[in-house]
Amino acid sequence: MALFALSASGMASTLNQNVSWTVDRPATSTKYRVVAYGDSIFAGYNGSISNAARYSAPTVDAEYLSARWNVDVESIRRAKSGAVARDVYENKIVADRSYMQAASTRVVSFEMCGNDGLQARTAFKEQTGTCNYSVLDAAVSSCRTYVAAAMDYINANAHANTKLKVISNLYYPGYNADNVQSSCRDSATGQTVNMRDRFLPAIAKMNYWMCEYARQKGFQCADSFAQYMGADYDSNGDGQIDSDALRYVSGESEASYINRTAVTLRATLRDANTKFVSSSSSFDYIQSDDTHPTYTGGTVSAGLWGGSTGTGAPRYSSFSNGRSPIWNQYGHERMGWALSVYQPASP
């Protein structure tokens, strides 16, 4: 049993968590498909090697789409927890392309690069002696390469009936925990560096290119960084709601985006464990592992024992102003809503 536990732990570092869940609305048999590719975020990872959140962001998105079109919607999640961007691209988007090639497909979404960033952060934290920043640069470069490749591949392979293609960018898990000094020392100053000061611009670069490539290649960009890291009220008196002010602006330069999000508006950034939805009310968007989004609605089998297929009635029959009653109370609910705002009016 001990050997099995060690084996299971190793497998969990890159764990396939594939789920098909159909939102089954009453009085209709028409069904369309939404396909989502990604790592542990879209998988709905919750620390288990055998199950995952039923309503991770892509399935929340499918629930919104079902209400908008008054049809059944099949949410296909092809995800691999622990996968870096190259792995998601090669072993999910490319290897599992058949799921988006179905004639019933109307939406294709994906997310990646989180594990590239997490692995680079771990490597940097372990450094002693002179700091080597190349691990962060390599993560950014890999993210850019495979985000662009993924969009090109989806554009070439998604069924012609697909109405919407969308990417979700990265929030910053561990924002507060990273506000500590490094063990390594900068070669120019001889001093240790604040790790958050180094990681934030790297995440900003990844996020910029996700949204910029989306603009160039016919995708929409769901700005999860802005949704998670900024309050839903104007905390600095600049006349803008913080989560709106942090959003990528179509066509802006990389330098402008990084300066705006990591410098000018840095004081408005908040750890997503305390997501302020008003000046006096907040919710926890991050699970106790300080990495993965919170969720509600139970779990489904997904992981070591294979994927699962299920069907269930929608949790809500309609959405007032395009938002569920819990749209801002959990991390996955917020990300799913952010994906949904780009949905076309008809299939």
Write down the residue that tokens 């629930």 correspond to. 63
Better pLDDT: 208 or 303: 208
Cα separation, 299 vs 21, whole angstroms: 11
Contact indicator for 132, 184 with CB cutoff of 8 Å: yes
pLDDT value at residue 135: 97
Q: Which helix (H) or strand (E) holds 311?
A: strand 308-312
Instruction: Dump pLDDT digits (tens) for 219-241.
Output: 999 999 999 999 999 999 999 99
User: CA separation (Å) from 28 to 32, 67, 135, 319?
Assistant: 12, 12, 52, 18
Burial class (CB in 10 A: 0-12, 13-18, 19+), 90: middle
The single residue listed with the structure tokens 């106790």 is 288
Backbone φ, ψ for residue 263 (5° rounding): -125, -70
Residue 305 confidence (pLDDT) above 80 = no
What local confidence, expressed as pLDDT, does residue 12 receive?
43
Q: Which stretch of 131-140, 185-194, 256-265, 301-310 has the lowest confidence by average pLDDT?
A: 301-310
Terminal CA-CA length for the chain: 50
Read off the pLDDT of residues 254-267 as tens digits, 9 standing for 90 and up: 999 999 999 999 99
Count structural domains, the chain: 1
Q: pLDDT band at residue 52, thresholds of 50, 70 and 90?
A: very high
* Per-residue pLDDT band at 307 (split at 50, 70, 90): confident
58: exposed, middle or buried (Cβ count in 10 Å: 0-12, 13-18, 19+): buried
pLDDT of residue 250 exceeding 90, the answer is yes
pLDDT of residue 4: 28
In a domain, 242, yes or no: yes
Q: The tokens of 53 are what?
A: 């959140």
- Looking at the domain assignment, is residue 347 inside a domain? no
Beta-ladder partners of 109: 36, 166
Is 2 contained in some domain?
Answer: no
Mean pLDDT, residues 143-172: 98
Answer yes or no: is 10 within a domain: no
pLDDT at 6: 29
Q: What is the pLDDT of residue 140?
A: 98
pLDDT at 203 > cutoff 80: yes
Residue 8 pLDDT > 80? no
Nearest 5°: phi and psi at 253?
Answer: -80, 160
Nearest to 142 by CA among 210, 45, 78: 210
The pLDDT of residue 10 is 37
Q: Is 1 domain-assigned?
A: no
In a domain, 24, yes or no: yes
Q: Please check whether residue 184 lies inside any domain of the structure.
A: yes
Residue 75 has phi, psi (to 5 degrees) of -95, 115
What CATH number does the domain containing 53 carry? Answer: 3.40.50.1110
The tokens of 227 are what? 């949704």
Flag whether 304 is in a domain: yes
> Which domain covers residue 183, as residue numbers?
15-341
Please tell me the predicted confidence (pLDDT) of residue 54. 97
| % of the chain beyond a pLDDT of 90 | 93
Amino acid at 307: G
Element (H, E) at 164: strand 164-168
pLDDT at 134 over 50: yes
43 vs 14, 57, 184, CA distance in Å? 12, 9, 35
Instruction: Please give the average per-residue pLDDT across 101-126, as a whole number.
Output: 98
What mean pLDDT is reported for the chain? 95
